[in-house]
Structure formats: C-alpha cells, structure tokens
C-alpha cells in the first residue's frame, strides 16, 4: 500500500501579514521562518525512506520541497494540479480588506463551503476535482511506496478529507499548519465526485 506524507509549504511574508495567496504570481517565496520550518520538517522526516517527491509548482511549495529533498538525493516532480485554490479577486488582499469589501461573498462561502468561490476563483469542489486526479495518478505510478507531497492549505485539506471520509463541507477545518506533516497510511483512489459533501 502506498503511503503519503503531506506537507504544507513554509511560512511566507504574506502568511505573516494575513494576505490571501492563492495562485497569485506576486505571492512571495519562503521567508526566514519558512526556510527554518522546511529544514525542521526535513529533520522530523529524516527516518522516512521516500521513493518520490511531488510538489506544487508555486514558488513557496517548490522552495519547501527543495529544502526537504536536499539530503535525500531525489528529484522533485512539479505537479501544477497540486496548486493552492485559485482565490480570484481576493489574491493579494488582506483578510480584513476581504471582510470589508466582500461581506456577502464571505458569508455565502461560510454557508456553502464546497461550492462557493471568490469572484473569479475556484470552489473547494473544483479544487478536489484536479487535486484528487493528480494524487490518484501519483498513487498508481508508485505502488507500495512512500511519497512526499508538498502543497498548500486547501489542496492538502481536500486530500485529508478524502483519505478520512470527511465531509467536504468541513474542508476549511482541516487545513494543516505550515510544514505540519500529515501521514496518510491508506489512500483509496476515487473519482472526485465520490467526495462526501
């Protein structure tokens, strides 16, 4: 059975400031704390023999994966489908600015988490469609292996919900902290449409 180790990227200055990053090309890479977090998680996972490392292609995830992979002598496969949720108009905005300018949209997002989205962005259900296809392919490619996946809050929360049979409506409650590893011992490939909502 293939085991997955999921790691959220390290801290960035936008994390620290409370800015929503999404897929923004302006989102920064790791700050000093983020780099230290990546090195710390590398130490934490040093006894795991990984067979492959996959990462979102966004800068903050890629930098985290590179720091974790450094002593492992494994190449990193960049997978764009592991990117964070597209947050549309909210990317680069402070949480307080979004609350002030988009109160109705935020309220609807709270009422219907699986299907609601930022203006011009993705919903968690749409994130699940691309992320779960990517992970299903990764698992099929590596039978009985240990795989490290470096990604983002919502993308990882979708994986965590799927692996544990949790409701997608609770996805925002399962976002891991920066560089907090999550171990999934059993991944059952499934179409995104089978996610509980």
Distance in angstroms (rounded) separating the CA atoms of residues 130 and 197: 16
> Which listed residue (3, 9, 162, 174) is catalytic?
9
Beta strand extents in 56-155 (DSSP E only): 76-78, 146-151
> Catalytic: 9?
yes
Q: Do the Cβ atoms of 55 and 77 come closer than 8 Å?
A: yes
> Catalytic: 70?
no
> Which listed residue (66, 70, 79, 84) is catalytic?
84
Distance in angstroms (rounded) separating the CA atoms of residues 127 and 57: 15
Which residues are annotated as catalytic?
9, 84
């Amino acid at each position: 059975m293939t085991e997955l180790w999921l790691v959220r990227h390290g801290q960035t200055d936008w994390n620290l400031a409370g800015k929503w990053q999404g897929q923004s090309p302006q989102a920064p890479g790791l700050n000093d704390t983020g780099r230290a977090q990546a090195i710390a998680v590398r130490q934490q996972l040093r006894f795991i023999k990984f067979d492959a490392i996959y990462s979102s292609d966004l800068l903050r995830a890629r930098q985290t994966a590179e720091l974790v992979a450094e002593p492992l002598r494994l190449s990193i496969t960049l997978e764009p489908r592991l990117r964070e949720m597209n947050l549309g108009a909210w990317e680069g905005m402070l949480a307080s600015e979004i609350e002030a300018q988009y109160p109705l949209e935020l309220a609807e997002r709270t009422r219907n988490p699986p299907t609601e989205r930022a203006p011009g962005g993705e919903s968690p259900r749409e994130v699940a469609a691309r992320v779960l296809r990517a992970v299903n392919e990764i698992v099929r490619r590596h039978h009985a292996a240990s795989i490290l996946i470096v990604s983002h809050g919502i993308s990882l929360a979708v994986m965590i919900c799927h692996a544990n049979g949790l409701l997608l409506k609770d996805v925002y409650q399962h976002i891991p902290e920066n560089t907090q590893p999550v171990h999934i011992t059993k991944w059952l490939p499934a179409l995104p449409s089978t996610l509980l909502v």
